[in-house]
Amino acid sequence: MMGDKVEPRIGVFVCHCGHNIAGVVDVAAVAKMAMSLPYVVFSTDYMFMCADAGQQLIRDKIKELNLNRVVVASCSPRMHEPTFRRVVEESGLNRYLFDQVNLREQVSWCHMRQPKEATEKAMDLVRMSVARAAQLQSLPIKSVNVTPRTLVVGGGIAGLRASLDIAERGFEVVLVERLPELGGHVRKWTHLFPADESGAQIIGPLVKDVEKHRSIKVMQNSEVVEFGGYVGNFTAKIKNHETGRTKSVDVGAVIMATGFEPFRPFGYYGYGESPDIITLAELQELPPRADLLRPSDGKKVNKLAFIGCVGSREAGKQGHEHCSRHCCSAVAKAASDLKDKVGEVMILYQDIRTYGRGHEELYRLARSKFVIYSRFPKDSKPDVQVTANGITMRWYDVLSGDYLEFEPDLLVLASAMVPPGDIAETAKMFGLTRSADGFFNPEHIKLAPLTTHTAGVMIAGAAQAAKNASESVVDASGAAAKAVSLMARGQVEIESTVSHVIPELCSSCRTCVTACPYGAISMDKSREPAVALVTEAKCHGCGTCAAACPSNAIIMYHSTDDQIMAMVEAFLCTPAQVEGGTA
Amino acid sequence: MSQSQNETVVPEHWEPRILAYCCNWCSYAGADLAGTSRIQYPPNARILRVNCTGRIDPEFILAALEMGADGVLVSGCHPGDCHYTSGNLKLRARWALLEKVIEQSGVDPRRVRLQWASASEAQIFADGVKELTEQVRKIGPIRSEWK
């Protein structure tokens, strides 16, 4: 912490975000109000603060008016805080002298029909931020070394590609795979789209390259059992299930390529009631033969049926609302392949989404081979009955406007891609959050899809969302590039928002020592009596110690008691509202 | 005019003022998602972002009530899902005590609400704001309780 004894000179910039904020919030009124607040020397509203011109405006005003604090009232700081921190830094201001107000995600977008109330809320939030800004202090910018080694979790197609990319750029990789064999789901897929190559043909050379690469250490039958540290300096404990031995590895970056699980659709279309009702994943794993044989009695299949969207696209059903993206094309590919071996192929679908390169061609190929596509309404799913005589499907065909029946020898359910059963534990271990579909959350869905909110931990492939093999490979190369750029720099800046014990105020009660989730606080025995001491490298900045300290001896930098209370006061103690306002 | 249980006169056109402490990783992100998803909820709450609910000193809540907040919401990661492993559990432990302190100080404990809302639970976050706002609206302004 550096002393900032000079009087605050705050600049407030209120963003329109085009129509996004200004369409609801009276941004001009907010900017005008801000001008009346203590220490504010400049305030304006502007179309796009994040655009080049908006950024330049901030830089110009800092120079022109000698601003030493900047408040931008725009979108969520989870989106553009890094952008604006960089802007103020370019003008010679410490990045911690910037504060952002969230007028878009938390005001205009969630109070769209209440412009008056939204504007009042915006004013309060700006008032709070300005009060906080006046209390902000510069913090030193700290860098740490990055261990030039990446941990890749998961040896499927994404993990393999990422490992190889990193190794080829000259960095070390530790690749951990839970199963005895590398290759993931793709290895098992017979009908892999869009080309005429099986999964094994695709994955074989990749596995070989990974296994023989000198910079890649492959750990099969192994799982990460403990994970800790911070960007550039993580430590993972990896347990081998065969030997029972645990090994500790230091890495600078992590790529999570933990993939998906094919949904086992019990309760859907007779799944589990007959061995001749299987999932698409199970069909793929049938050993390739000249003929397609029925699992129940080994007889040749003559009539084959598929049903799409099984456990996908179900509005309101948690974990099953998403489109699983690979199934339409995978069904088209499998159906065209198998049409040569069976008499009739029937595909029941809600919608067909063959969106990728070469996918539409597969759909056309299936049609040209006289695979029958029949559409059912989404609120009236096909009925499947299993009797001693076999399987009977009955459904309403949208195009003919009639009920149809079909008695397939084999029924294949194109079931959803869902996260692995233990993803919650994995997320917890690596400090990741998950989206509503259950997969890992990216840092930003559009702008940062491969990084996460845990700096240094990347996600690739189906660990992030349902996607096909080609898309997973694109992800993997992208995530590998992220890991490499981190390692190539050799150093990374870390947050200075750590806690600090004021030794003179510490009463040696050790409350903070037990409160800290990271064991970052110990007793400094070089003092008499011993007082608490924070090891900054271990501190993650949660502030639990500061809240627990009964002596107010702990400062949580950038989230000090004074900064928080200034915001509370600014909201609740404004002169106009003291008498119980009419907010 | 309506009357709440403790005979408080709820003034006309009065709107509850609510302070919401949200942790950066789960509930603040959940509130962002509520916006991105265009979920509409009462505009009464002002969100104050903290890194972790474990950062919240009970004094922050008591001070807010004393300064005139009609309600205080604390929203964090689900127990077991804390970005900092266990900060939210520390807050939960403090909360049990805090509720008693609030009650004994003569303030209706229904003015404070602790909830867990993950980064994907935008609706749970929005519903929490709505429920607390409606609850506090029935109880009336806090000024009536600070006598």
Other CB atoms within 10 Å distance of the CB of residue A258: 29
Residue B123: inside a domain: yes
A5 or A263: which leads in pLDDT: A263
At B109, which CATH number?
Answer: 3.40.50
- Tens-digit pLDDT profile for residues A40-99: 999 999 999 999 999 999 999 999 999 999 999 999 999 899 999 999 999 999 999 999
- For residue A321, what are its two tokens? 């609302």
Query: Taking CB atoms and an 8 Å cutoff, what residues of chain A touch B39?
Result: 110
Q: What's the confidence (pLDDT) of residue A581?
A: 40
- For residue A257, what are its two tokens? 């390529």
Contact A571 B119 (CB under 8 A): no
- Whether the bond into A194 is cis, omega within 30 of 0: yes
Q: A with B: how many residue pairs have Cβ under 8 Å apart?
A: 165
Choose among B46, B67, B84: nearest Cβ to A569.
B67
Which pLDDT band, with edges at 50, 70 and 90, does A333 fall under?
Answer: very high
Residue ranges of alpha helices (H) inside A236-341 are 280-285, 327-339
Q: Is A188 on the interface with B (CB under 8 A)?
A: no
- For residue A512, what are its two tokens? 């903070």
CA–CA dist A386, A394 (Å, integer):
12
- For residue A491, what are its two tokens? 């150093």
Q: What's the confidence (pLDDT) of residue A206?
A: 97
Per-residue pLDDT 10s for chain B (147 aa) are 344 444 556 777 899 999 999 999 999 999 999 999 999 999 999 999 999 999 999 999 999 999 999 999 999 999 878 888 889 999 999 999 999 999 999 999 999 999 999 999 999 999 999 999 999 999 999 988 876
Contact B46 A571 (CB under 8 A): yes
Contact A417, A463 (CB under 8 A): no
CA–CA dist A58, A71 (Å, integer):
10
Nearest of A488, A479, A487, A485 to residue A160 by alpha carbon: A479
- Per the prediction, chain A carries an average pLDDT of 94
DSSP 8-class letter at A409: S
Residue A1 reports pLDDT greater than 50: no
CA–CA dist A560, A132 (Å, integer):
10
Q: What's the confidence (pLDDT) of residue B88?
A: 95
Mean pLDDT, range A535-555, rounded to an integer: 93
CA–CA dist A488, A148 (Å, integer):
8
- Tens-digit pLDDT profile for residues A287-332: 888 899 999 999 999 999 999 999 999 999 999 999 999 999 999 9
Q: What's the confidence (pLDDT) of residue B9?
A: 65
Q: What's the confidence (pLDDT) of residue B147?
A: 60
CA distance A164 to chain B (A): 31
Residue B12: inside a domain: no
CA distance B75 to chain A (A): 15
Percentage of chain A beyond pLDDT 90 is 88
Contact A547 B55 (CB under 8 A): yes
Angle (CA) A417-A418-A423 rounded to 5° is 145
A193-198: which pairs have CB atoms within 8 A and are 24 or more residues apart?
A193/A329, A193/A330, A193/A332, A193/A333, A193/A358, A193/A359, A193/A362, A193/A468, A194/A329, A194/A333, A194/A356, A194/A357, A194/A358, A194/A359, A194/A361, A194/A362, A194/A470, A195/A358, A198/A288
Contact A577 B90 (CB under 8 A): no
Selected residue of A125, A542, A551, A552 to mutate for chain B interface (largest B Cβ count, 10 A):
A542
- Whether the bond into A529 is cis, omega within 30 of 0: yes
- Tens-digit pLDDT profile for residues A492-532: 988 899 999 999 999 999 999 999 988 899 999 999 999 99
Contact A124 B19 (CB under 8 A): no
Contact A180, A205 (CB under 8 A): no
CA distance B98 to chain A (A): 13
Contact A110 B85 (CB under 8 A): no
Write out the residue range of the structural domain in which residue B65 sits.
18-145
Q: What's the confidence (pLDDT) of residue A4?
A: 53
Contact A544 B68 (CB under 8 A): no
CA–CA dist A534, A512 (Å, integer):
10
Residues 6+ apart with CB under 8 A from A56: none
Residue B113: inside a domain: yes
ipTM score for this prediction? 0.94
Contact A419, A314 (CB under 8 A): no
Q: Is A561 on the interface with B (CB under 8 A)?
A: yes
- Number of domains chain B is built from: 1
Helix (H) or strand (E) holding A556: strand A554-556
φ, ψ (nearest 5 deg) of residue A99? -140, 145
Residue B6: inside a domain: no
Nearest of A320, A317, A311, A323 to residue A413 by alpha carbon: A311
Q: What's the confidence (pLDDT) of residue B7?
A: 52
> Could you give the C-alpha distances from A272 to A266, A379, A388, A411, in angstroms and in order?
6, 23, 15, 12
Nearest of A161, A150, A174 to residue A457 by alpha carbon: A150
Contact A93, A103 (CB under 8 A): no
C-alpha distance across the termini of chain A, in Å: 38
Query: Taking CB atoms and an 8 Å cutoff, what residues of chain B touch A228?
Result: none
Q: Is A432 on the interface with B (CB under 8 A)?
A: no
Supply the angle between the helices A359-368 and A327-339 in degrees, to the nearest 10: 40
- For residue A220, what are its two tokens? 């099969």
Mean pLDDT, range A556-577, rounded to an integer: 90
Q: What's the confidence (pLDDT) of residue A194?
A: 82
Residue B30: inside a domain: yes
SS3 A78: helix
Other CB atoms within 10 Å distance of the CB of residue A290: 7
Residue B9: inside a domain: no
Which pLDDT band, with edges at 50, 70 and 90, does A111 fall under?
Answer: very high
Q: Is A302 on the interface with B (CB under 8 A)?
A: no
Contact A568 B48 (CB under 8 A): yes
What is the per-residue burial (b if ≥16 Cβ within 10 Å, else e) of A195-211?
eeebbbebbeebbebbe
Choose among A78, A541, A547: nearest Cβ to B32.
A78
Query: Taking CB atoms and an 8 Å cutoff, what residues of chain A touch B119?
Result: 433-435, 441
- Tens-digit pLDDT profile for residues A446-461: 888 999 988 899 999 9
Which pLDDT band, with edges at 50, 70 and 90, does A397 fall under?
Answer: very high
Among A343-347, A571-575, B55-59, whose mean pLDDT is lowest?
A571-575
Q: What's the confidence (pLDDT) of residue A196?
A: 86
Nearest of A247, A225, A183, A228 to residue A457 by alpha carbon: A228
Contact A544 B55 (CB under 8 A): yes
Contact A77 B49 (CB under 8 A): yes
Residue A575 reports pLDDT greater than 80: no
Domains of chain A: 1-141 (3.40.50), 149-260+419-492 (3.50.50.60), 263-417 (3.50.50.60)
Q: Is A89 on the interface with B (CB under 8 A)?
A: no
Angle (CA) A519-A521-A522 rounded to 5° is 105
Residue of A nearest to B17 (CA): A583
* Residue numbers of A between 351 and 390 with CB closer than 8 Å to B: none
